Structure 1
């Protein structure tokens, strides 16, 4: 089911946590920040929206490093109900797509909830003070691979954040597959 992320809550502080990464070590979210900011992206392995844009996510994350912006991706989907999103499959996904940033597993979904993530992909762009300045789409593509000349919303916004500490006032929400939440034991 498609879901759309809410508009940016400017100034909302980032949340730190140490999560296991597909590289076999645990990583602090904040340790991924560059000197000018950080993008926290909620993605998953099986989402057609993510799969349509993963090459551009990798490209933009790599190019944002030159602007002092770090990047980290987190998967929080219920891997019991969606085995294709298991930690082992995250490792396969990371290798297959040559992820150039940490890909972390939020098994208990606490971090996704703390951020208010609703879909995959869902992008949160923070300035150097770890205050939210961007909550929007990567670009105008959806479940299909878009043309190479699409406006790079996330990239352009985060370059602006790196330069001025503030994101654009106008932002288009990200659209993707809804996060696959675990059913609380009390509802079973």
Structure 2
């Protein structure tokens, strides 16, 4: 997983492996959401059955990303572990609440980690994404503060949605709402990226290529 062993792959392949399991989860849920299944003497709702299929699918896509790129980010690893743990608990205990609270914990962990770095005067986001974007330290700190607040807000929002709304509403929120929210967040950070972008003469030899 070291950076020296990393390999580039097609952006379409990378996006497909990252978002494919979520799309398949949604399609499968729509197809079986009103059905129940008797397995081993127990009755399972469609949501639980789809969750049981989603966990190995995420693990497979994560393994393929590792094989193709030679690395995995800490965020990808944490996400895969939490999906496995909380998805597994939902299936084992036949209780959808564990899987629904999983995004809350993911965003709390990410937001909390960024917050700890900020308290130390550091941008842990910079250490993760510096290879993808060349930006001054001040810019990284601004972006990190905003992303920290954004992640904590998503955690709170997920709690509100799954505790007060139907499973249908939560699935739509998880599939589309969270994905669109993350996309819009980064789309609205263009001014920060532009204002604090490093000029060619400011880049290190590695950043300049």
What is the TM-score when the length of structure 2 is the normalising length? 0.20
Q: Which has the higher helix share?
A: 2
Indicate the structure (1 or 2) with the bigger Cα radius of gyration: 2
Between the two structures, name the one with larger relative contact order (CA 8 Å, sep ≥ 6): 1
